[in-house]
Amino acid sequence: MSLAKTSLIISLLGIAILLFLSRTLEPRTIKLADIASSMPEQLVKIEGMVVASKNYEKITVLAVDDGTGKIDAVAYGLENENLTGKNVKIIGKIKEYNKKLEIEAEKIVEK
């Protein structure tokens, strides 16, 4: 096998491994008190209790408390679910909306 073919195969294999890992690895869990405005667009994982929930036309806003602080998590597709009083794990990106930090949820798992 030529050097070019070997290099191509190894490169494709490396890309496939990176794609697999990027979909299976979760970010580290962060305390709400540690979330800062200097972290926009950072992917984080939080764990806490949903203390309030407000449904809108296409989104649901969950108020999450982990004992160190509170933050709103914006979720799409939860219109018929009531998570108030339940412990959840949320993975999402930190966003700023109306000068307030929130998390745009990509994944919500009830604990």
Q: What is the pLDDT at residue 111? A: 82
Tokens for 94, please give them.
């930190």
Q: What is the pLDDT at residue 82? A: 83
Q: Looking at the predicted structure, is the pLDDT value of residue 15 above 90?
A: yes
Q: Looking at the predicted structure, is the pLDDT value of residue 1 above 80?
A: no
Which pLDDT band, with edges at 50, 70 and 90, does 13 fall under? very high
Q: What is the pLDDT at residue 43? A: 92
Q: Looking at the predicted structure, is the pLDDT value of residue 30 above 80?
A: yes
Please compute, for residue 22, the number of CA atoms within 13 A of its CA located in the half-sphere on the CB side.
6
